[in-house]
Structure 1
Amino acid sequence: MTVLDQHVWQPRTDPAPLLPDPEPYRLLGTPEAGALDAGLLTTMYGQLVRGRRYNRQATALTKQGRLAVYPSSTGQEACEVAAALALEPRDWLFPSYRDTLAAVARGVDPVEALTLLRGDWHTGYDPREHRVAPLSTPLATQLPHAVGLAHAARLKGDDVVALAMVGDGGTSEGDFHEALNFAAVWRSPVVFLVQNNGFAISVPLAKQTAAPSLAHKAVGYGIPGRLVDGNDIAAVHAVLTEAVARAREGGGPTLVEAITYRMDAHTNADDATRYREDAEVEAWREHDPIAVLERAMRERDLLDDAMVRDTEQDAERMAAALRERMNEDAVLDPMDLFAHVYAEPTPQLREQAAMLRAELEAEAQS
């Protein structure tokens, strides 16, 4: 009997249910939007407005020399906020370098969330406090970490789901494929959220993949792929909430692709005009996530001019407090460079720490 006769080559899963819908899933502006919880929409609106102001203030801080770099998520705030709101307090969020806002929406102190980008610490907050992993500057390395944590939690019997965020550029990294394959085989309770903002720095998506969508890649791993309008916060929240529930119930991982757009440059060091036209950016402004939600809420009389004004004033107070605190010069100990890297410092780290300590002592005596 040959291998082919045993039919072990056949797919273990019917691929049809794993395929994403042909068009991104939407809620706002559809008849189904009328059934959305008013309180949740109000919370989302407040978080979006604060998030937009946070992005603009952080960008301004780079121009003032208070931040070394800031990768803005302006235009992607719906994905950021929805990811934070879809999780339970016991769950874990694994952000990429652009997901500072998601960490803040999860409860991380706004100043502490910027500490890495300020260059003061490896990460400026306690990951365990809000269950937010350190912001990840290397592309996609947070994905295997999310899978490892979620898989270990399941082995221990802990009711924990990990939500890992990555950009479309990160899907071209090997870590992306390794994480999805392991999670799929072991049915780890992980949700992968790909924020497809059109560009990996200056490289358009068409030069990264020939797949119909990034969500279609899920089929190759035997997991469901979902395609959603990333500027429709209600739709993103609904899809992520469903995926989190599925993971928690033992259904395994889900790959969610959110179609969105990065309105600002890749970072303050990037000149986006070199690879995209202003007309393209302006076209996406018509689908601004704040405007999309505001229109839907006004149609249901859930938002008026006074509420808009109050929300914007609250965002301004947040921005003022952020400016004031960021204008304070941090008192840093160079030896902190070696703290919280490993539970037990490696011989190399101990050697490097001794060298730095000797240099500091010599400098103090000179």
Structure 2
Amino acid sequence: MKNSLLMLLLFPIELLAQAPANDEPCGAVTLAVVSGSACTAPVIYQWQNASFGYSGAVSPSCGNFTNTVSKDVWFKFTATAANASVILSQAYGISHNLAAAFYGSEGCSFLYGDPGCDDDSGPDNYPQLSYFDLIPGQQYFIRVWQTNGAIDTGSARICVVSEPLAPASAVTGINTKFPSAGLDVNGTMKIRGGTPGLNKVLTSDAYGNASWKAVPVASQVSFGAYILPSFSPSIACCSFTKLVFAEAEAAGVTNLTNGTFTAPESALYHFDAAASYAVSIAGTNVSLRIAVLSPANVVVASYETRENNSSVTTERSLTSSVTVRLTAGQKVEVQFYASNTTQINNTGTLGIDRKNRFQGYKIN
């Protein structure tokens, strides 16, 4: 009699503690795929007494899932087309914070793939999973759990529809099952609207309005010029004389007029100069400088190479180089100084020898 009474007392407790039928994948509740986008026949389920997470599948990456805390239940459906959405929603008066994961399968004991996972993309922040590349006839499994493992009971609605829905959180993916941004594109992108064109970029104004803009092409500022071998100017005593480099080394030389370079824009520039000369009086001091002038032709800086007490010679040379930042409109020219009248030595083969030259280019 005591044993019978004890069994009667324990029986309701055992019944109350029984796990739901879909506690494991092989007991998963089958969901029919509803044609269209409306969840017209949802399955209402409960997870009371569900056991801790099933360890035979890859753990989901969302919804605070851990095998020792999260209590999950399982559903399955057979894809009827490439597209489908799994939608969960509130069943009765109490809302629950749920999460769901999606698995491919070769039966209930072999679930594979990196599970798609979501906890708040659907209506009222319930999970919603949308797919566009399912295999018709393939069976898929859905794992659902309460994100707060301390809540051991509750209910919700679940259904599968054939037309994928845009997530309520406005997260859209292209060529990806699991978008992680407002627009998540996996692959190349082509925008036809507006006025696209070669070397244009899509830019935004302060309000987020996009438009196509041409990429500014940096100006190519460079030049090279020399003094013809047939011309050997004489340098008068005791003052700097500008050397006129009138022959372009290549076609298209710009910004150089009568031996003077004018900066077309504020930037960093580099210049090289070389001069060959003859000394007829011993002890002559000579100097070659690259001079920076203001727009009003006032020297504001100079970069000089000197040779003092030169001996008599028919040919000697000086070179000078400088990297300098100029403002638009500033000028650069090459000047030569001698303490006695000196001749620029410009002998050589016409069109080949370029002993006296002035070169430059913009760096940035």
Q: TM-score, normalised by structure 1?
A: 0.19
Higher relative contact order (CA 8 A, sep 6+): 1
Higher fraction of helix: 1
Higher fraction of strand: 2
Q: TM-score, normalised by structure 2?
A: 0.19
Which is greater in Rg?
2
